[in-house]
A and B are shown apart, each in its own frame.
Chain A
Amino acid sequence: MLRIYVWLYVAFLYAPIAIITLFSFHSSPSLTFPFEGFSLRWYARIFTNTTFMDSLWNSILVGTATAATTTVLGSLTALGLARLKGRVQTLFGLLSFGPVALPGLFLGIALVMLFSQIGLARSLFTVTIAHVLFTLPFFLEAVRSRIEYFDLSLEEAARDLGATPAQAFRLVTLPIIGPTIGGAAILSFALSFDEFIITVFVSGNNTTLPLTIWSMMRRAVSPDINAASVLSLSLSIGIILLGGLLVWYQRRSALNARAKDIQE
C-alpha cells in the first residue's frame, strides 16, 4: 500500500512538469490530448521572440549579480556570526534569518516606497537590490551550520605553521567552506531566477523572465508558454548541475595532483 502511495506521490510531483514538457514539443497548437506528434516549432518561435530573449538575458544578469553580491555579503556575515558567542550569536542568527518569514508582498511594497523616497528609478538595478535582500537569509541559513561548526583551531593551526591571516583564510578556511558557499551561491541564483512577487513591484521597463511569461499568459494561453517554461526549468536545473559538477571536478583534480605528488 505504502509503496503505491510513494509512486502516486512522485507522479503528483512530476506530472505537471512532464505534461508541460510533452506539450512544448507538440506539433499542433492544441493544449489537450490526444497528442498529435513532435515538433520544435514552439521553441523556434520562442527563440525569435525578442521580448522573451531580452527578459531571459535580464534574468541571467540579475541572477548573477544577485548571487555574487549575496555571496560576498552573506559569507562575511556568516564568518562574523561564527565568532560571536552565546546569546548574542543566537540573537543575530535569528535576526538575519527572520526575513525569510516576510511576505514578498510586504517586502515589495516596502522597497517601492523606499526607492521612491530616495528617488531611485525602478530598473534592473532595483530588482537586483531587492533580490539580494530576498536571497540573503536563505544564503545565510544554507551556510550557517557549516560555518558555525567550522573549527577555529584549524585557522590557528595554519597561523602556527607560518601562515599570515590571509594565507590561513585562502589555504584552510576557504577550501573547507568553499563548496558550501558555492552551493549557497547557486541557490541564490536559482531563487533570483524564479522570483516573481517582489520583482512585480520593483522592476522598471526591463523585466525578468517570470514576469514576461506571466504577461504572455495574460494575453492568451499559447503553446509558446510551454516552451518558455521548459526552457526556464532546464536553465535552473542546468545551473544546479553545473554547480555540482564544479565541486566534483575541483575535488577530483585536487586528488589527482596529490596522487602525482606522492608517486614522483
Chain B
Amino acid sequence: MTASNIVELYGVTKAFGALTVLHDIDLNIVEGEILTLLGPSGCGKTTLMRIIAGFEPTTHGRVIIKGADVSNLPPDRRPVNMVFQRYALFPHLDVFDNVAFGLRLKKWPKDRIREVVRNMLQLVQLGDYGNRWIHELSGGQAQRVALARALVNSPSVLLLDEPLAALDLKIRHHMLAELKRIHQETGTTFIYVTHDQDEATILSDRIVLMNGGRIEQIGTPEEMYAHPRSLFCARFLGETNILDGAVRACESEVTYVDLGTGTVKVPTNGTALAVGQKVSLAIRPEALQVCRRAQPAATEGDANALEGTVEDVVFMGSRVLYSIRTPVETLKYQATRSVDGVMLAQGEEVRACWRPEAAVLLTH
C-alpha cells in the first residue's frame, strides 16, 4: 500500500446474472484529490461507486479503504459517506436532524453534536436553516443539506453520485464552485460520478473515463483533452475533428497518414504501425489554423493542410465557430475573435492547416 492512496481497488468485477457490468477494475484514489468517474450511462460508474460505498458486493476483487480490506463490510461500517443523486434526505426530520443523524448514531454527546452540526451548516451556507423542513428547501439548498449530512461524519472519502443532475444549469455552475470551495476547506477526498464532461473537467484533479464496464483512460483533465488515447476518449471529452486514413509509412518520430486526398504527418504514438493500417487523427477545433487560400500559409513549411470552403459561421462573442467543408470531412474550427474584427465569411475559399504535433494518432 502506498501511503497516499486512500482507496485501492484490485480486480473489481461485478456481474448481475449473466451481465457483467464491471470488468477487472484496478484503481487507486489519492488522499485529498477530487477523482471523477466519467462516462456515458451504463458504463458502470455508478455501480463502481456503490461498490466502494458498500451497497453492492463485488463478484470478484477487493476494496481497500485506508489500508483495510472492507470488501465484506456493510455500508454502515465503512468510513465513507455518500451524497445521493436525489439527495435522499429524510422527509420526517428537519434540516438539523438530517445533518445530526450520523453523529447521533455514533452516540456523540448532545452539545457536541449541536456545535458540530451548526458549524457544518455554516460551511454549506445554511446557518439559519436548521429548523426548516426538507420539503421547504429549494433544489440547491437540499443539495447543501445532503452534503452537510455526509461531511459532518468526517468521512475518509466523500462519494457524490451525479449530485448536480437534478439542478438547473445556473445553480449547477454555482454549486460546482461551492463543491470546490468545500473540498478545499475540508480537504476530504471526493469521488464524483457524472456523465457530464464539463463538470468533470471543471472539478477534477483526475478523471477516470469509463466505457462498457472498463476504464478507458485515467489522467488530469488537461492530459485527457490533449492526449486522448482512444477514439472514445477523444470524442467524449470536448469537441474534436476525427480524420480517417491509412498508414503510408511509420518512422520512429513521424507517421505519414494518407487521408485519400493527400498525405499528412503526425507524431508516432509509441507503437510501430504496419503500412496500410486504418488509423484516425484527432484534431481539436482550436488547434487548426485557417487562412484565406489567396494568402500565403502563416505556418512553417512542414504543416499539414486541407483546402476547403467556409460552410457556416457562428459568432459566440469571444469565440467564433466555423464549419469548413473539405474533401475529407467537415472540420470544426474555433477561433478567438480578433481585435481588428477580421472574420471569415460564409463561402470563402480557405486552407486549414495544423502542425503535426497538434494532431493525435489513434488506432482503431
- Give the interface of A toward B (CB within 8 A): 151, 153-154, 156-164, 167, 171-172, 175-176, 254, 258-259, 261-262, 264
Contacts and interface: CB of A to CB of B under 8 A. Distances in A.
Given A258-B97, A264-B114, A157 B131 contact: no
25 contacts: A151-B88, A154-B91, A156-B55, A156-B82, A157-B149, A159-B55, A159-B74, A159-B75, A160-B75, A160-B80, A160-B81, A160-B150, A161-B76, A161-B102, A161-B105, A161-B150, A161-B153, A164-B76, A167-B105, A176-B92, A258-B94, A258-B131, A259-B131, A261-B110, A264-B114
Nearest to A153: B88
Nearest to B130: A262
Contacts of B91: 154, 176
Contact of B84 (A153, A163, A262): A153
Contacts of A261: 96, 110, 114
A262 B110 CA distance: 11
B53 interface: yes
A258 to B, nearest CB: 6
A167 B90 CA distance: 14
Nearest to A174: B92
Given A153-B88, A159-B76, A160-B53, 15 more contacts: A154-B91, A157-B82, A157-B84, A157-B88, A157-B89, A158-B101, A159-B55, A160-B75, A161-B76, A161-B101, A161-B105, A162-B153, A167-B105, A172-B92, A258-B97
A78 to B, nearest CB: 18
A175 to B, nearest CB: 5
B90 A157 contact: yes
Contacts of A154: 88, 90-91
B248 interface: no
B86 interface: yes
Nearest to B149: A161
A258 B54 CA distance: 32
Q: Is the interface of A mostly helix, strand, loop or mixed?
A: helix
Interface string B59-86: 0000000000000001110001110111
Nearest to A161: B102
A153 B91 CA distance: 12
A81 B294 CA distance: 74
Contacts of A164: 76
Contacts of B105: 161-163, 167
A160 B52 CA distance: 11
Nearest to B55: A156
A175 B93 CA distance: 10
Contacts of B97: 258
Contacts of A163: 76, 105
Contacts of A157: 82, 84, 88-90, 149
B170 to A, nearest CB: 26
A172 B54 CA distance: 19
A259 B106 CA distance: 22
Interface string B115-156: 000000000000000110000000000000000011001000
Interface string B14-34: 000000000000000000000
User: Which of B55, B101, B110 has most chain A Cβ within 10 Å?
Assistant: B101
User: Which of A153, A161, A167, A175 has most chain B Cβ within 10 Å?
Assistant: A161
Nearest to B105: A162
B100 to A, nearest CB: 9
B117 to A, nearest CB: 10
A172 B90 contact: yes
B50 to A, nearest CB: 9
Interface string B300-322: 00000000000000000000000
B86 A153 contact: yes
Nearest to B74: A159
A229 B83 CA distance: 57
B153 to A, nearest CB: 7
Contacts of A171: 101
A189 B261 CA distance: 85
A175 B92 contact: yes
A160 B75 CA distance: 5
Contacts of B55: 156, 159-160
B87 to A, nearest CB: 9
Q: Which 4 A-B pairs have the closest CB atoms?
A: A161-B102, A157-B88, A153-B88, A162-B105
Contacts of A159: 54-55, 74-76
Given A258-B131, A259-B131, A160 B86 contact: no
